[in-house]
Amino acid sequence: MVSEKNIVWHEGKVTKLHRQNMNRHKSAILWFTGLSGSGKSTLSVELEKSLYEMGIKTFRLDGDNIRHGLNSDLGFAEKDRNENIRRIGEVSKLMVEAGLMTLTAFISPYKKDREFVRSLMEGGEFIEIYVHASVEECENRDPKGLYKKARAGKINGFTGIDSPYEMPVEPELIINTEVMTINESVLKIISYLKEHHYM
């Protein structure tokens, strides 16, 4: 293993600000958090499409997709969930440095993990979006059949059933998918981005 004292940060001549100026918009993480089935992935997909059509440079990171590659070695124990979010936080930071509006859809059940990612970023670069839907509603939707498996004891440590979800205390946005349509939700997020001069 290489000693940390032998690792030196190498600065480039093209900065995040240069990239943002070229793109004509700021870069930030739009961090979608909520229970499985709350609508995080669906919302992030539709928002990215709308932003793309507006000329905003984006990249989307989705929980299931990431576990097919970068995090394929991780399970769902608490320490694995912590490492999952740590890696995503570091990747997201690189995306923001690249000048991209980065959309991440992860249950990310632990407040400390979300706060860790926030701590990596400069002020205003972490936009926490709590995608709210009750356990009952998510279980009723159950798009992947995971709640049914959890209730049958085929999945252990399932968030909302036998593993906790710590709701955000002061998220930048709350999207209640039990009462808001996808289109209304997308427009609310875009309004936030415009009002706070991200675009």
Quick one: pLDDT at residue 181?
Answer: 97
Is 168 inside any structural domain?
yes
3 among annotated binding-site residues: no
39 among annotated binding-site residues: yes
Number of domains making up the chain: 1
40 among annotated binding-site residues: yes
Structure tokens at 160: 């909302």
Distance CA 62, CA 81 (A): 14
Confidence of residue 57 (pLDDT cuts 50, 70, 90): very high
63 among annotated binding-site residues: no
Strands 28-33 and 101-105: parallel
Chain position carrying tokens 């039990």 = 178
Is 57 inside any structural domain?
yes
Is 3 inside any structural domain?
no
Exactly one of 27, 44, 92, 108 is catalytic; name it: 108
157 among annotated binding-site residues: no
Stretch among 15-24, 25-34, 60-69 having the lowest mean pLDDT: 60-69
Decide if 119 is catalytic. Answer: no
Mean pLDDT for the stretch of residues 129-154: 92
Is 13 inside any structural domain?
no
**CATH value at residue 136:** 3.40.50.300
Quick one: pLDDT at residue 120?
Answer: 96
Is 12 inside any structural domain?
no
Confidence of residue 2 (pLDDT cuts 50, 70, 90): low
CB atoms within 10 A of CB 15: 12
Quick one: pLDDT at residue 198?
Answer: 97
Mean pLDDT for the stretch of residues 82-100: 94
Confidence of residue 3 (pLDDT cuts 50, 70, 90): low
Distance CA 100, CA 77 (A): 31
37 among annotated binding-site residues: yes
pTM (predicted TM-score): 0.90
Instruction: Yes or no: say if 43 and 175 are a contact pair by the CB < 8 Å rule.
Output: yes
Quick one: pLDDT at residue 17?
Answer: 93
The larger pLDDT score, comparing residue 8 to residue 35, is at 35
Checking if the pLDDT of 1 tops 60, the result is no
Residue 132, SS3 per DSSP: strand
Q: What are phi and psi of 152, to 5 degrees?
A: -85, 0
Is 1 inside any structural domain?
no
Is 157 inside any structural domain?
yes
Is 103 inside any structural domain?
yes
Residue 35 burial (10 A CB sphere; 0-12, 13-18, 19+): buried
Per the structure, the complete domain to which residue 134 belongs is given by 19-195
55 among annotated binding-site residues: no
